Amino acid sequence: MPLCMGCLNEIPRSDAVCSVCGFDNAGKQSAPFLPYGTVLGGKYVVAKNLDTNGESTRYLGYNNDNGKVITVREFLPMGLFDRNEGEKKLFVSPTDKPKFSQAMADFMSFYETVEAITDKSAMVDILDMFSENNTVYVIEESDDLIPFAQYVEKNGGHLEWDAARPLFMPIITLLETLHKNNVGHYAVSPSNLFVTSTGKLKLAGFSSENERKRGTILKSQLYSGCSAPEQYRQNESLNSATDIYGFTATLFFALTGNLPASAKDREKDARLLISTNTVKRLPPHVVTALANGLQMKRDNRISNFDELRAQLSVASTVQAIQDEISRTASMTPVQREEERKSKVNPTAVGIVATVVALLILGAVGLWWLSLNPLVGLFEESVTTPPTQAPTIAEDWTGPVVPDYVGKTYQEVSKAIEADPSLSLKISADGEFSDTVPEGNVISQTPQPGTPMTSGNAVIYVVLSKGPQLTELPDVTGKSLTSAAEKLSDLGFVVLQEVEYDSTVGEDKVIGYKDHTAGDKIESGSEITLIVSLGPYPDDEY
């Protein structure tokens, strides 16, 4: 029996509408894509086009020899060739031939390097590569692969760290191997990750560097929220820190259910948004690693994969700082003063403690903003918006979801009423925000710019309730640890400064800097505690 070109299930005749997926097999695949049913390499059947970037296109495929579903990647550099509808061979003009040949050589060299990697346990396996029709084809596995975004949705919209860790750590090793072979992936994102039936994570979406940055001979495909800032700049070099940004952004999505804002947007506001509940359920060292992996400036970002592993474990650097704190805490005031005098900075006694507060406590608080899981309320019925594949390919030319973030409810409602292809649902309770005025949209699902591939779309919006004010508790005389934990639980970013004090015991809180107990301020604000070093050494004589 013939196969459906939409899902590869058997159908009664080649022109039938599939009863499984609804695909109309009487239609034709439009140029420049291969006709339905094209056989490549004597055995690979080409079905519907799945996705396209500036370098290649990917088809659903079938291996006639073993009956397995595959994907077929065809080198198809947009703008450098012609192919009429119904034809297989590419035509390249003499003018475009040099660029076409160079791009194809880069494509083949990249895939030859990837194919030669011996440990393919964390990547979608490359089964075959050959030349035909004046171009190159790469055959990749596809059986039993679940899209990662779908996997996250089925697991409640996010993963716990204990579940995410064994999935993601092998991806670090794969990326490290790629870079040791002088190539990178540069497109790590939820759209390019798949979960096997045995529960392993696999990376797909390989393309040469020409496709992953601006300014090359190909039209680049970047992924909103996952592509690093340097990928948006003309001919900027890419390195391991670039892949670490994409990896960390994807891990951020797995743990929170949301992607970070795009690098272009974060150039204006670099903050990362995460709910308080999420912060509380993640280990502090993981929160710190996410923040360090998503630094906008490459020099400030985690730069190598060993460091990334360490920070996602109980990082050795943090442990070293904790050991230093223990060492200085056991010193007498006189010993501490002698060490202070031996260094250029007269306040160096407190530096280690401040670093710890910034890394372990401050990093947690820096993520405090209101992005709790979205819950929609419409006509008195509660609805949870569907998890979407959040990565947006930037070469889409069709209609996209408008941007309503920051607009008033009245403005959004009026705009959506005027567009019959859209409908609106509002969150049940809204969320507090210190940046978005009360009554304005904090966030929306689907994200702005998401391709609208169907005739209608439901827009879920979360409205701001304005800033949340929280009363500062009295922490005078408490230990730094207990005071910081209490303030972090209230949603504050806790920093510290140290000074000598003859009336407050060592490592006890003297008070707040610039605030007093009972003040009501916005949750998420930075709060600095003044912590005692005990009496100044001279006070003892």
Q: Is the pLDDT of residue 539 over 70?
A: no
Token pair 């806790």 is found at: 494
- Single out the residue of 400, 473, 174, 155 nearest to residue 305, CA to CA: 174
pLDDT tens for each residue of 191-226: 999 999 888 999 999 999 999 998 888 988 899 999
Tell me what pLDDT residue 427 has.
66
In which band, very low, low, confident or very high, does the pLDDT at 354 lie, cut at 50, 70 and 90?
very low
| HSE toward the beta carbon, residue 197, CA cutoff 13 A | 3
Single-letter code of the amino acid located at 287 = V
Which of 103-117, 150-164, 456-470 shows the lowest mean pLDDT across its residues?
A: 456-470
Tell me what pLDDT residue 366 has.
41
Q: Is the pLDDT of residue 506 over 90?
A: no
Q: Is the pLDDT of residue 372 over 60?
A: no
As to burial, measured by CB atoms within 10 angstroms (0-12 exposed, 13-18 middle, 19+ buried), residue 541 is exposed
The partner residues of 129 in beta bridges, in order of sequence, read 138
CB count, 10 Å around CB of 383? 16
Give the separation between CA 541 and CA 538, rounded to whole angstroms. Answer: 6
Which of 42-51, 184-193, 224-233, 377-386 shows the lowest mean pLDDT across its residues?
A: 377-386
Average pLDDT over residues 108-124: 92
Share above pLDDT 70 across residues of the chain, in percent, rounded to a whole number: 82
Which of 154-158, 379-383, 419-423 shows the lowest mean pLDDT across its residues?
A: 379-383
Q: Is the pLDDT of residue 332 over 70?
A: no
Are 102 and 5 spatial neighbours (Cβ–Cβ below 8 Å)? Answer: no
In which band, very low, low, confident or very high, does the pLDDT at 462 lie, cut at 50, 70 and 90?
confident
Q: Is the pLDDT of residue 148 over 90?
A: yes
Which of 166-170, 428-432, 453-457 shows the lowest mean pLDDT across its residues?
A: 453-457
Tell me what pLDDT residue 298 has.
93
pLDDT tens for each residue of 463-476: 888 777 788 999 99
Q: Is the pLDDT of residue 175 over 90?
A: yes
Instruction: Name every residue whose Cβ is closer than 8 Å to that of residue 155 and which is 6 or more positions away in sequence.
Output: 163
**Average pLDDT of the residues of the chain:** 82
Give the chain's length: 541
In which band, very low, low, confident or very high, does the pLDDT at 360 lie, cut at 50, 70 and 90?
very low
Give the separation between CA 249 and CA 232, rounded to whole angstroms. Answer: 16
Instruction: Name every residue whose Cβ is closer than 8 Å to that of residue 358 and which is 6 or more positions away in sequence.
Output: 495
Task: Tell me how many degrees the CA angle 457-463-468 measures, rounded to the nearest 5.
Answer: 155
Are 311 and 319 spatial neighbours (Cβ–Cβ below 8 Å)? Answer: no
Instruction: Name every residue whose Cβ is closer than 8 Å to that of residue 380 and which is 6 or more positions away in sequence.
Output: none
Are 174 and 250 spatial neighbours (Cβ–Cβ below 8 Å)? Answer: no
Give the separation between CA 372 and CA 257, rounded to whole angstroms. Answer: 10
| HSE toward the beta carbon, residue 384, CA cutoff 13 A | 8
Share above pLDDT 90 across residues of the chain, in percent, rounded to a whole number: 46
Tell me what pLDDT residue 111 has.
95
Residue 285 DSSP SS3: helix
Tell me what pLDDT residue 377 has.
23
Average pLDDT over residues 347-367: 43
> DSSP secondary-structure letter at 35?
P
Average pLDDT over residues 228-243: 94
Tell me what pLDDT residue 438 has.
83
Q: Is the pLDDT of residue 376 over 70?
A: no
Tell me what pLDDT residue 492 has.
73
Q: Is the pLDDT of residue 280 over 90?
A: no
Tell me what pLDDT residue 523 has.
66
SS (H, E, C) 119-130: CCCCECCEEEEE
Which carries the bigger pLDDT value, residue 291 or residue 144? Answer: 291
Tokens of 436: 């978005």
pLDDT tens for each residue of 254-266: 999 999 999 988 9
Angle between helices 161-180 and 240-256 (to 10 degrees): 160
**Rounded to an integer, what is the distance from CA 168 to the centroid of its chain?**
13
Tell me what pLDDT residue 343 has.
43
In which band, very low, low, confident or very high, does the pLDDT at 344 lie, cut at 50, 70 and 90?
very low
pLDDT tens for each residue of 69-99: 999 999 999 999 999 989 999 999 999 999 9
